[in-house]
Amino acid sequence: MRVIENGELSNMLPASFKGQIGAWERGQGKIFASGSIQGIYKSSFNLVFPSGMIHVGSLKKPLCCFGIGVEEGELRKILDSCCENHQAFLKKDGLWIYGKNQQFCLKLDDFIQKDLQIPIINVKEKNLYEDVQMLLECMDLKSHAGLDTESEKFKTCCEGLIKGNRTELKQAVLYLVGRGMGLTPSGDDILLGYTGLLKAAGLHRQVEEILISHVSGNTTEVSLNYYKALFWGYVNWDFKKLLECLVHKEAAKPYIESIKSLGHTSGWDTLLGLLIGLKKMGKM
């Protein structure tokens, strides 16, 4: 990464500097595309391109499935300089971000590629996941969720996700997509956790077909990019690791804690979706 001020090279990072990039995102760095900054937050920001969104966050946080991670100090430099709607470019030599008086180049070829592909779990060994399921049940996820989980509509929705036929499943999915507040509505977070587990178990085809035909235009841009990554088979780093640890409760705990801290209720909603998916597997 380098910082350019007024067209001249002013600072070169140490050669040891490394970032992280999701496996599915790396190829986009080879293609020229024009985009802009759309969403600046306390410790991250989003870039929007015609092909999708790139989330730029800190190496201290788990890698986003459509994102890259950079060292905290360097991220702060970019955040202090960037503004909404400022330009960004994907070029052969990296990702260029235009700040107030600076241009930042993130050389993606030098970043460490992390595999965010959804792991495969064996649905025939569903009894091995009972300890993690019980752990999630003891966390009272519903009371922390962003939706009214005590409503009859939500209870019917859960029944449709767990043991409903195709019609009931579709009604549940349509009810949840885009429902709730925030960059990623709670209903989407529930569906992402639910579908992510089912995809790992090879049980995702029905729900994914419904989602593919319905999410566009019915939820936020951020949620839409999470869905796209999920359809391609990728999830955030901490969710991937949790899926890998479903048979080991103690190993799963740190990743559960990490996911819990995501957003206001996003992490809790995602874990609730995972729990609903585990209950569905238990019925099979």
Contact partners, residue 243, CB within 8 Å, separation at least 6: 118, 119, 121, 196, 197, 200, 235
Per-residue confidence (pLDDT) for residue 92, from 0 to 100: 80
Residues contacting 193, CB < 8 A, separation 6+: 239, 269, 270, 271, 272, 273, 274, 275, 276, 277
CA pair distance 196, 239, nearest whole angstrom: 9
- Strands 102-106 and 112-114, how do they pair? unpaired
- Please tell me the predicted confidence (pLDDT) of residue 23: 53
What separation, in Å, do the N-terminal and C-terminal C-alpha atoms of the chain show?
Answer: 50
CB burial of 55-93 (b: ≥16 within 10 Å; e: otherwise) equals bbbbbebbbbbbbbbbbeebbebbbebbeeebebbbeee
Coil, helix or strand for 240? Answer: helix
Domain residue ranges of the chain, discontinuous segments joined by +: 2-114, 123-282
Q: Nearest Cα to 202, choosing from 170, 243, 171, 173?
A: 243
The pLDDT of residue 83: 95
DSSP of 63-117: PPTTEEEE-HHHHHHHHHH--TT-EEEEETTEEEEE-SSEEEEE-GGGSEEE--B
Question: Which pLDDT does position 110 carry in this prediction?
Answer: 82
What are the pLDDT tens digits along the chain (284 aa)? 333 232 222 232 222 234 666 654 444 444 578 999 999 999 999 999 988 899 999 999 999 999 889 999 999 999 999 999 999 998 887 889 999 988 999 888 888 888 899 999 988 877 889 999 999 999 999 999 999 999 999 999 999 999 989 999 999 999 999 999 889 999 999 999 999 999 999 999 999 999 999 999 999 999 999 999 999 999 999 999 999 999 999 999 999 999 999 989 999 999 999 999 999 998 77
Q: For residue 31, what pLDDT is reported?
A: 54
CB 53 within 8 A of CB 46: yes
Instruction: Let me know how long the chain is.
Output: 284
DSSP code of 184? S
Q: Which two tokens stand for residue 274?
A: 């995972």
Question: How do 102-106 and 2-5 pair as beta strands?
Answer: antiparallel
At residue 178, what is the residue type? G
